[in-house]
Protein backbone atom coordinates (compact mmCIF):
# COMPACT_ATOMS: atom_id res chain seq x y z
CA UNK A 1 0.00 0.00 0.00
CA UNK A 2 1.33 3.44 -0.95
CA UNK A 3 1.55 6.16 1.68
CA UNK A 4 1.09 9.21 -0.59
CA UNK A 5 -2.73 9.30 -0.37
CA UNK A 6 -5.01 9.75 2.66
CA UNK A 7 -8.47 8.43 1.78
CA UNK A 8 -10.84 7.52 -1.02
CA UNK A 9 -14.56 6.99 -1.27
CA UNK A 10 -15.46 3.46 -2.38
CA UNK A 11 -19.27 3.15 -2.42
CA UNK A 12 -22.43 3.96 -0.48
CA UNK A 13 -24.75 1.65 1.39
CA UNK A 14 -28.37 1.56 0.31
CA UNK A 15 -30.95 3.15 2.59
CA UNK A 16 -32.20 -0.36 3.33
CA UNK A 17 -28.74 -1.60 4.39
CA UNK A 18 -28.20 1.48 6.55
CA UNK A 19 -31.58 0.98 8.24
CA UNK A 20 -30.74 -2.64 9.04
CA UNK A 21 -27.46 -1.57 10.64
CA UNK A 22 -29.15 1.17 12.66
CA UNK A 23 -31.86 -1.19 13.89
CA UNK A 24 -29.26 -3.74 14.96
CA UNK A 25 -27.07 -1.15 16.68
CA UNK A 26 -29.96 0.49 18.54
CA UNK A 27 -31.21 -2.92 19.70
CA UNK A 28 -27.76 -3.88 20.99
CA UNK A 29 -27.67 -4.22 24.80
CA UNK A 30 -25.44 -1.48 26.26
CA UNK A 31 -23.25 -4.01 28.08
CA UNK A 32 -22.39 -5.78 24.80
CA UNK A 33 -20.02 -2.88 24.00
CA UNK A 34 -18.08 -3.74 27.17
CA UNK A 35 -17.71 -7.52 26.65
CA UNK A 36 -14.51 -7.50 24.62
CA UNK A 37 -12.00 -4.79 25.50
CA UNK A 38 -9.07 -6.27 23.57
CA UNK A 39 -8.84 -3.30 21.20
CA UNK A 40 -8.95 -0.76 23.99
CA UNK A 41 -6.41 -2.67 26.10
CA UNK A 42 -3.92 -3.83 23.44
CA UNK A 43 -2.19 -0.50 22.98
CA UNK A 44 -2.16 0.28 26.66
CA UNK A 45 1.25 1.96 26.46
CA UNK A 46 -0.11 4.61 24.11
CA UNK A 47 -3.79 4.42 25.06
CA UNK A 48 -4.82 5.35 21.54
CA UNK A 49 -8.13 3.44 21.59
CA UNK A 50 -8.78 3.56 25.34
CA UNK A 51 -11.91 5.71 25.00
CA UNK A 52 -13.52 3.56 22.33
CA UNK A 53 -15.93 0.67 22.73
CA UNK A 54 -16.19 -2.14 20.22
CA UNK A 55 -18.17 -5.11 19.04
CA UNK A 56 -15.53 -7.41 17.61
CA UNK A 57 -16.62 -9.81 14.88
CA UNK A 58 -13.20 -10.84 13.56
CA UNK A 59 -9.77 -9.95 14.87
CA UNK A 60 -6.77 -11.93 13.69
CA UNK A 61 -3.67 -11.58 15.84
CA UNK A 62 -0.63 -13.84 15.54
CA UNK A 63 0.51 -13.32 19.15
CA UNK A 64 -2.82 -13.60 20.96
CA UNK A 65 -4.80 -15.84 18.65
CA UNK A 66 -7.86 -15.10 16.61
CA UNK A 67 -11.23 -13.77 17.64
CA UNK A 68 -14.26 -14.81 15.64
CA UNK A 69 -17.64 -14.15 17.25
CA UNK A 70 -19.86 -16.42 15.21
CA UNK A 71 -23.04 -15.44 17.07
CA UNK A 72 -22.43 -11.73 16.60
CA UNK A 73 -21.42 -12.20 12.95
CA UNK A 74 -24.61 -14.18 12.33
CA UNK A 75 -26.73 -11.43 13.92
CA UNK A 76 -25.08 -8.82 11.69
CA UNK A 77 -25.09 -11.01 8.57
CA UNK A 78 -25.57 -7.92 6.39
CA UNK A 79 -21.84 -7.30 6.82
CA UNK A 80 -21.19 -10.03 4.24
CA UNK A 81 -22.87 -7.82 1.62
CA UNK A 82 -20.47 -5.01 2.51
CA UNK A 83 -17.45 -7.32 2.20
CA UNK A 84 -18.61 -8.45 -1.24
CA UNK A 85 -19.18 -4.88 -2.46
CA UNK A 86 -15.76 -3.78 -1.15
CA UNK A 87 -14.05 -6.72 -2.86
CA UNK A 88 -15.76 -5.83 -6.14
CA UNK A 89 -14.83 -2.13 -5.95
CA UNK A 90 -11.24 -2.94 -4.95
CA UNK A 91 -11.04 -5.68 -7.62
CA UNK A 92 -10.17 -8.39 -5.09
CA UNK A 93 -11.31 -11.74 -6.50
CA UNK A 94 -10.62 -13.88 -3.42
CA UNK A 95 -10.53 -11.89 -0.19
CA UNK A 96 -9.60 -12.34 3.45
CA UNK A 97 -10.99 -10.25 6.29
CA UNK A 98 -8.40 -9.82 9.03
CA UNK A 99 -10.39 -7.51 11.26
CA UNK A 100 -14.05 -6.52 11.41
CA UNK A 101 -15.64 -4.54 14.21
CA UNK A 102 -18.12 -1.88 15.10
CA UNK A 103 -16.35 0.92 16.94
CA UNK A 104 -18.14 3.39 19.17
CA UNK A 105 -16.35 6.64 19.96
CA UNK A 106 -18.52 8.29 22.62
CA UNK A 107 -19.38 11.96 22.47
CA UNK A 108 -16.57 14.21 23.61
CA UNK A 109 -13.89 11.51 23.25
CA UNK A 110 -10.83 11.34 20.99
CA UNK A 111 -8.55 8.86 19.32
CA UNK A 112 -5.12 10.42 19.47
CA UNK A 113 -3.00 10.76 16.36
CA UNK A 114 -1.23 7.54 15.47
CA UNK A 115 -0.39 5.37 12.51
CA UNK A 116 -0.76 1.62 12.14
CA UNK A 117 2.06 -0.87 11.73
CA UNK A 118 2.96 -1.48 8.06
CA UNK A 119 4.12 -5.02 8.89
CA UNK A 120 0.55 -5.84 9.93
CA UNK A 121 -1.51 -3.49 7.75
CA UNK A 122 0.73 -3.00 4.71
CA UNK A 123 -1.13 -5.37 2.40
CA UNK A 124 -4.69 -4.68 3.52
CA UNK A 125 -7.31 -2.05 2.82
CA UNK A 126 -8.73 -0.32 5.94
CA UNK A 127 -12.39 0.46 5.31
CA UNK A 128 -14.56 2.71 7.51
CA UNK A 129 -18.32 2.82 7.06
CA UNK A 130 -19.90 5.54 9.23
CA UNK A 131 -23.22 4.21 10.48
CA UNK A 132 -24.02 6.72 13.20
CA UNK A 133 -22.12 10.00 13.03
CA UNK A 134 -22.38 13.77 12.99
CA UNK A 135 -20.61 16.50 11.06
CA UNK A 136 -18.86 17.68 14.24
CA UNK A 137 -17.00 14.39 14.49
CA UNK A 138 -13.65 15.11 12.87
CA UNK A 139 -11.61 12.36 11.26
CA UNK A 140 -8.15 13.46 10.13
CA UNK A 141 -5.76 11.42 7.97
CA UNK A 142 -2.39 12.93 7.08
CA UNK A 143 -3.52 16.47 8.04
CA UNK A 144 -6.58 16.15 5.77
CA UNK A 145 -10.14 16.14 7.13
CA UNK A 146 -11.99 13.11 5.79
CA UNK A 147 -15.68 13.65 5.00
CA UNK A 148 -17.12 10.70 6.89
CA UNK A 149 -20.64 10.68 5.50
CA UNK A 150 -23.17 8.30 6.98
CA UNK A 151 -23.41 5.11 4.91
CA UNK A 152 -20.38 5.85 2.72
CA UNK A 153 -17.56 3.31 2.65
CA UNK A 154 -14.23 5.13 2.82
CA UNK A 155 -10.81 3.52 2.51
CA UNK A 156 -8.32 5.32 4.72
CA UNK A 157 -4.57 5.06 4.51
CA UNK A 158 -4.00 3.95 8.10
CA UNK A 159 -0.24 3.89 7.53
CA UNK A 160 -0.43 7.69 7.59
CA UNK A 161 -1.05 9.50 10.87
CA UNK A 162 -4.74 9.63 11.68
CA UNK A 163 -6.94 10.80 14.55
CA UNK A 164 -10.57 11.33 15.50
CA UNK A 165 -12.22 13.97 17.69
CA UNK A 166 -15.90 13.45 18.46
CA UNK A 167 -17.03 17.00 19.13
CA UNK A 168 -20.64 16.03 18.47
CA UNK A 169 -23.44 15.15 20.89
CA UNK A 170 -23.85 11.60 19.51
CA UNK A 171 -21.74 8.48 19.93
CA UNK A 172 -19.97 7.90 16.62
CA UNK A 173 -20.26 4.30 15.38
CA UNK A 174 -18.31 3.00 12.39
CA UNK A 175 -18.09 -0.41 10.82
CA UNK A 176 -14.35 -0.93 10.36
CA UNK A 177 -12.78 -3.82 8.48
CA UNK A 178 -9.51 -4.80 6.85
CA UNK A 179 -9.75 -6.65 3.57
CA UNK A 180 -6.94 -8.06 1.46
CA UNK A 181 -6.18 -10.51 -1.32
CA UNK A 182 -6.01 -14.16 -0.35
CA UNK A 183 -2.41 -15.09 -1.21
CA UNK A 184 -3.25 -18.75 -1.83
**CATH number of the structural domain spanning residue 95:** 2.60.120.620
Q: Is residue 114 part of a domain?
A: yes
Q: Could you give the residue ranges of the DSSP H alpha helices within the chain?
A: 15-26, 38-42, 70-75, 79-89, 118-121
- Calpha distance 179→94 (Å, rounded): 10
Question: Is 15 among the domain residues?
Answer: yes
Q: Does residue 1 have a pLDDT over 60?
A: no
Q: What's the confidence (pLDDT) of residue 179?
A: 96
pTM for the model stands at 0.91
- The conformation of residue 11, written as its DSSP 8-state character, comes to E
Residue 63 lies in a domain: yes
Residue 143 lies in a domain: yes
Assigned domain for 1 exists = no
- Whole-angstrom distance, CA of residue 129 vs CA of residue 50: 21
pLDDT tens-digit readout, 94-147: 999 999 999 999 999 999 888 777 667 778 999 999 999 999 999 999 989 999
Residue 145 within any structural domain of the chain: yes
Mean of the per-residue pLDDT values for the chain? 89
86 assigned to some structural domain: yes
Let me know if residue 2 belongs to a domain. Answer: no
**Domains in the chain, number:** 1
- Structural domain harbouring 173: 7-181
Amino acid sequence: MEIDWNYRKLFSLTDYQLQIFENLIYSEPKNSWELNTYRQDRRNKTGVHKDTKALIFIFKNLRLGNIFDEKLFSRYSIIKEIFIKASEVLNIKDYIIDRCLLVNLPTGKKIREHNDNPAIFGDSHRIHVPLITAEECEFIVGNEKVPMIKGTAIEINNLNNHSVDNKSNVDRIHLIFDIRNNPL
